[in-house]
Structure 1
Amino acid sequence: MQTNLADFIKDTPEGQEADAILRACVHCGFCTATCPTYQLLGDELDGPRGRIYLMKQVLEGKPATRKTQLHLDRCLTCRNCETTCPSGVQYGRLVDIGRKIVEDQVPREGADRMKRNALKEALPRRWLFSPAMKAGQMLRPFLPRGLQNKVPAPRPAGAWPRRSHARKMLMLEGCVQPSMSPNINAATARVFDALGVQIVTAARAGCCGAIRHHLNDHEEARDDMRRNIDAWWPYVEAGAEAIVMNASGCGAMVKEYGHLLAQDAAYAEKARRISELCRDLSELLPDFEAELKGKLGDGIDAAVAWHPPCTLQHGQKIRGKVEGLLRAVGVDVRLCHDSHLCCGSAGTYSVLHPDLSYTLRDRKLSNLKDTGAEKIVSANIGCITHLQSGSDTPVEHWIELIDDALMKRAAARA
């Protein structure tokens, strides 16, 4: 694609990156076949190719409009188009650049501005979000259906392991996960403890930055990243083997720290190292497959439908690892026929675009139900909460499945 970027952007790092991404696009349109919003709306401008044209126009100096903003807002940033693209177009990075420029040209107004400000100020602050979630859970039976969908029923976390091990790995607790589904972090720690690895957390680490970044507040998002790097760095220097991610959305963001802070002289090298250390659970636990099989004996007798989050399969390009590990320990893992498509959660998307989000959710749940599985497992708190809000079938993190089996096996031996 030929480009002629406007003076305001062409000589900036963002402009140079956008120019390279635009030039990689060959207009083939393969991306439209796997774009969820294009499938629902049938509008070229609600597919990746059309959005690329819109962003190209803005980058070349055409003023953005409210209509431009709407089409970019409707993008789930699922990055399925990246997986489909034969030219390797890094659409996710381009849309982050394009949305920020459009946001600067077309400021938010009224209720939309208030909603977005509330999301980016409340969700990343655990000290604020956690008591609000607890209050919501207490009042859940009395809340309207729309709010109930965002407030999962309370679940106990269980005990955090107290043993110390020579092998240590850091883990990001996250901003919303500790209050929405605290058992995920505890289950992760227990599984690693059983395998002789101690999970440690840094008290000052918080939101990974994804919420603010995808709501176009890039500078505040970089502050989130810098805070996490500062919190983790003493543990990195002490020899932590990895930074474990059990929320694939957070993992996709932390793996971008090196890129997003590349222009920050004080943090560029540390950010690069943090991104190198970041590992999704599914990248770490296959190394322990033989040990897990030994500890689980006859294995896990369960049939589950596996929903791979977009941030895992398209964002981090991790495919097949969860299925492979679960099958190795006896689980009957089933994929629905649209397993490559987004469930509609997409971070704050379900709040900002509920109609499209719930349409995608219900379509996904229907296909998951067709697998006949007794449980749905996934790897991201957003997907888990979103799917559970529309289903009577239990939805949980896949690490909870392994943790539960290990605890039952230990109880049986005792």
Structure 2
Amino acid sequence: MRTQINVKYLEHPEIEEADSILRSCVHCGFCNATCPTYQELGDERDGPRGRIYLIKQMLETGDVSEKTQTHLDRCLTCRSCETTCPSGVQYGRLAEIGRGIMEVQLERPFQQKLLRWLIRKVLPYSRRFGALLRLGQSVRPVLPGSLKAVVPIKQVKLAMPAQQHTRRMLVLAGCAQPAATPNTNIVAARVLDKLGISLFTAPEAGCCGAVSYHLSAHEEGLEFMRRNIDAWWPHIEAGVEAIVISASGCGSMVKDYGEKLSKDTAYAAKAKRVSELAKDIGEVLFKEDLSQLQLQGLGRKTAVHCPCSLQHAQQLGGLVEQLLQQAGVELTRTQNGHLCCGSAGTYSILQPEMSQQLLTNKLADLTVGNPEQIVTANVGCQMHLGSKSPVPVKHWIELLDPQ
């Protein structure tokens, strides 16, 4: 694809990268076949190829319209198109750059700005989010059905194992997960404890930065990343084997720290090392002997939902299924596994109508084999699927709890 970038953008620090990505696209359209929003709406502007053209038009003319904003906002950034693309177009990165430029150039209506600001000031902060979640859980019995569905039932928190092993790994607590699904990391710690590995958190670490970064507050997102690096670095210097992440959405972001901070002279080397150490919990278990867990009672028929962040961003599709089959879990048939469930970070809040349609589609695809439960690898997907699922939804690691 030929480009002629407008002079007003030539000094933008990311314009060369955006130009290179644009030029790599051969506009074949294969991406549209696996784009959830294009499949639903049938509008070229709501598919990757069309959105690439919209970003190209913005960077060449220097102008951006509300229509362009609408079509870019509808993108889930699921990156299914990247898995499909024969030319290796880094669409997700192009969308980040394009949205960042658009956010500065075109002011949003007040209500949109307020909602995005509130999300950024609540969701990435575990205490704030936890307080609101506890309030919602306290009045959940009297909420109308639509609201009750999106408030997860409070979990009875399990006990963390003692720190007793020489093998040690950090774990990212995250922001929503400690309040919404606290047992995910606790069970991960119990599983690794059984395998001779101690899992622990760095209290100063928090949100991975994805919430702010994906809402085009890029510098704010980078500050979250720097804070995590500072919190983890003493432990990295002490020799931890890995930074374990059980939320695949966070994992895809932490694995990208090296790229995001590559131009920050104070953090570039540290960020690169953090990205090298970042591992999905499935990657860690894949290298261990799971026979030590001595698992029993895994007879319930299970459908596996592979989040977009695991299969498209981290390219780890099929890993969870392989681990669960190795552990003796009976997996049921699913279909259209490449399509997004509609959670997509904050997408379910900002684009509720499309999100709900994709959720309905995904649950139909997951329950085609009549499972007794659904498992996933990301807290956002877990909560989203659980809001409407006819069967229980949990994190897959919970099936391997040795206690």
TM-score bin (small chain): over 0.9
Residue 182 of structure 2 aligns with which residue?
A: 182
Residue 61 of structure 1 aligns with which residue?
A: 61
In structure 1, runs of 5+ residues without a counterpart are 408-414
Give the Å deviation of 1:398.
0.4
Residue 400 of structure 2 aligns with which residue?
A: 402
1:376 is paired with a residue whose SS is strand
Q: Does the aligned pair in 1 maintain the 2:195–2:293 contact within 8 Å?
A: no
Q: Distance in 2 between matches of 1:246 and 1:193?
A: 15
1:334 is paired with a residue whose SS is coil
Matching of residues 6-405 of structure 1 within 5 Å: 6-288=6-288, 291-296=289-294, 300-403=298-401
Q: Does the aligned pair in 2 maintain the 1:245–1:279 contact within 8 Å?
A: yes
Q: What amino acid maps onto 1:179 in structure 2?
A: A
Residue 410 of structure 1 aligns with which residue?
A: none
In structure 2, runs of 5+ residues without a counterpart are none
Q: What amino acid maps onto 1:360 in structure 2?
A: L
Q: Does the aligned pair in 2 maintain the 1:247–1:381 contact within 8 Å?
A: yes
**1:239-294 Cα shifts (integer Å, max 9, x gaps):** 01000010000000001111111111100110011001000011110111xx3224
Q: Distance in 2 between matches of 1:256 and 1:8?
A: 28
2:169 is paired with a residue whose SS is strand
Give the Å deviation of 1:108.
1.6
Q: Does the aligned pair in 1 maintain the 2:295–2:400 contact within 8 Å?
A: no
**1:32-60 Cα shifts (integer Å, max 9, x gaps):** 00000001111000000000000001111
Q: What amino acid maps onto 2:385 in structure 1?
A: L
Q: Does the aligned pair in 1 maintain the 2:194–2:292 contact within 8 Å?
A: no
**1:96-141 Cα shifts (integer Å, max 9, x gaps):** 0001111111112221111111001110111211111111111112
**1:212-232 Cα shifts (integer Å, max 9, x gaps):** 011110000000000000000
Q: Distance in 2 between matches of 1:202 and 1:313?
A: 27
Q: Distance in 2 between matches of 1:275 and 1:7?
A: 35
Q: Distance in 2 between matches of 1:125 and 1:246?
A: 18
The worse-fitting range, judged by mean Cα deviation, of 183-192 and 327-336 is 327-336
The worse-fitting range, judged by mean Cα deviation, of 143-152 and 370-379 is 143-152
Q: Distance in 2 between matches of 1:176 and 1:100?
A: 24
2:340 is paired with a residue whose SS is coil
Count of aligned residue pairs for this structure pair = 403
2:168 is paired with a residue whose SS is strand
The worse-fitting range, judged by mean Cα deviation, of 178-187 and 103-112 is 103-112
Which runs of structure 1 show a deviation greater than 4 angstroms over 4 or more consecutive aligned residues? none
**1:334-392 Cα shifts (integer Å, max 9, x gaps):** 34111111000001101111110011101111121111111100000010000010013
Give the Å deviation of 1:149.
3.4
Q: Distance in 1 between matches of 2:293 and 2:112?
A: 51
Q: Distance in 1 between matches of 2:171 and 2:295?
A: 28
Give the Å deviation of 1:298.
5.9
Q: TM-score, normalised by structure 2?
A: 0.98
Q: Distance in 1 between matches of 2:148 and 2:218?
A: 30
Q: Does the aligned pair in 1 maintain the 2:213–2:221 contact within 8 Å?
A: yes
Distance change >3 Å, CA 392–CA 232, structure 1 → 2 = same
Q: Distance in 2 between matches of 1:253 and 1:280?
A: 11
1:60 is paired with a residue whose SS is helix
Give the Å deviation of 1:12.
3.7
User: Considering only aligned residues, what root-mean-square deviation do their CA atoms show, in Å?
Assistant: 1.2
2:14 is paired with a residue whose SS is helix
Q: What amino acid maps onto 2:138 in structure 1?
A: M
Q: Does the aligned pair in 1 maintain the 2:303–2:333 contact within 8 Å?
A: yes
Distance change >3 Å, CA 69–CA 259, structure 1 → 2 = same
Distance change >3 Å, CA 294–CA 229, structure 1 → 2 = closer
2:302 is paired with a residue whose SS is strand
Q: What amino acid maps onto 1:402 in structure 2?
A: L
Q: Distance in 2 between matches of 1:139 and 1:297?
A: 37
The worse-fitting range, judged by mean Cα deviation, of 41-50 and 298-307 is 298-307
Q: Does the aligned pair in 2 maintain the 1:299–1:329 contact within 8 Å?
A: no
Q: Percent identity?
A: 53
Q: What amino acid maps onto 1:162 in structure 2?
A: A
2:331 is paired with a residue whose SS is strand
Q: Does the aligned pair in 1 maintain the 2:333–2:368 contact within 8 Å?
A: no
Distance change >3 Å, CA 218–CA 149, structure 1 → 2 = farther
Q: Distance in 1 between matches of 2:64 and 2:346?
A: 23
Give the Å deviation of 1:301.
2.3
Give the Å deviation of 1:143.
2.5
